Chains A and B, each alone.
Chain A
């Protein structure tokens, strides 16, 4: 890590702070952090701010090195970071700007089930979800793919699963990139990565990954909520997972392969963790090909989790899932690098937008949106902690101009995992959560302690900033009633 002293930053307005371009640090652009005064106090002095400044040194970076209000310290890039690089100006791709969990993301399912009607079945529902859905560690999922099928998943994502009868047309339509990123190169996903992934498609994982049954608790924008199929008092299901061991191994393999690569291209970095290669270089293209394949695996993983959630609801409520209205609202990635066209400094440019712990949030009218969201904007889901709330947002009017069409991805941790476990000592978290109306089931007792509500910042505060900054707009607040964790 660089020891060039604490970064200097200044308030721009109520919801953003600027780290002015500092040539002594090699910054090519400003840093811009979306926080209000209270969150700014939390972040001040955190190494994450230095990481924002470090990302600003990357060749070909355009606009600014951005960070969302759930910013915290990561490897090289901060979590909550957004960086757009321009291949026409020597722009680079950095595996650290995507992270280990390639295409970690969230999807939301809506239902026609009222919480009041579901209450007598909730315990059974959560037990059944817990029994059915594999954590993926020491336990394989129900789906096993042979070599050819795994290649098809890597190349085709949810679109391949549709051919296999495991996804509907709507499931494909309501997914970022239609559940399949073009240009995936499965042959560049190594043998170990494939082995780590072969039995894990359709498993949730542990850590902060989960499947949560929630109720729409407060509608802030009734028109948008209606367009998304959400109504006060009805159940929803939020699925948070990524590309499992396959994606972790792809990142691992390419970080190893990228050692010495920046030097080869004459790129001077303030932190080795920013290891990168020009987008147009062979190394850059190979990483992107493998990353897209892992991303397709991530979309497919969340789809196969959806298949299991639907089957569980069918068994518990004794109706086929379409009659329960268990439809996909949207699926969106928050660890990814995407090729997108943006307007920057008065010109259109094809950029590579790294989002590491940040969510795409395209506004109404954007050509990449599914027809049904063309007028309302792209749905965004921001999971909070399991005791309080999560948010549904839609892409805001200023997201393209201010953040390359991006917004936050979560509440951000407040306590370290150790501190959280310590704080949970002598307490019965399951009972505490039940008193708050949440049935929590976890394969790992420690995992539950690490992910307890107190470990996280208040998601409402994070969402208030992105709403007021115009990056995304509040639609509805979801309150958890049951959560299954790895």
Chain B
């Protein structure tokens, strides 16, 4: 699985490639977290775990909603995700965000992400797996 950040004039996008749909989702969550908190500044702080449950929907909407959960867990409860797991089934998404609590002064704040947008939102199959593109309003 690989992800990268894509530059727009005023905003930032995420592109992910993965062998499975589940990895696509966890990779996108890693890419989002790397924007919220500067990578390499994670510390062994208070460990937290947030369960996520989303009703069934199309892949693109599910990915957007999953990332919105990662964003809100960080913004509301300071959860800096380190390890994500996702299971996708007919009932929707069951996932977990595991990580540590943000500590100002120990973590270095990245950028404020306002929202995970629907603009240019794509999830699709490729020859060797899955690919996703998401645009963030920052």
Contact = CB atoms under 8 A, between A and B. Distances in A.
Contact of A138 (B102, B118, B119): B102
Contact of A416 (B8, B78, B102, B119): B8
Contacts of A137: 75, 109, 112
A100 B118 contact: no
A207 B112 contact: yes
Contacts of B112: 135-137, 205-207, 486
B137 A444 contact: no
Interface string B60-96: 0000000010001001101000000000000000000
A429 to B, nearest CB: 15
A248 B114 contact: yes
A413 B9 contact: yes
Nearest to B8: A416
A100 B68 CA distance: 14
**Contact-residue bracket for chain B:** 20 to 34
B72 to A, nearest CB: 7
Interface string A291-334: 00000000000000000000000000000000000000000000
B138 A443 contact: no
B129 interface: no
B36 to A, nearest CB: 8
A283 B102 CA distance: 38
A245 B137 CA distance: 12
Binding site of B, secondary structure by majority: helix, strand, loop or mixed? loop
B108 interface: yes
A419 B115 CA distance: 21
**Contact-residue bracket for chain A:** 35 or more
Interface string B29-53: 0000000001000000000000000
B107 interface: yes
B5 interface: yes
A195 B72 CA distance: 10
A385 interface: no
Interface in A47-65: none
A417 B76 CA distance: 25
A446 B9 contact: no
B12 A418 contact: yes
B10 A79 contact: yes
Interface of B: 5, 7-12, 38, 68, 72, 75-76, 78, 102-104, 107-112, 114-115, 117-120, 135, 137-138
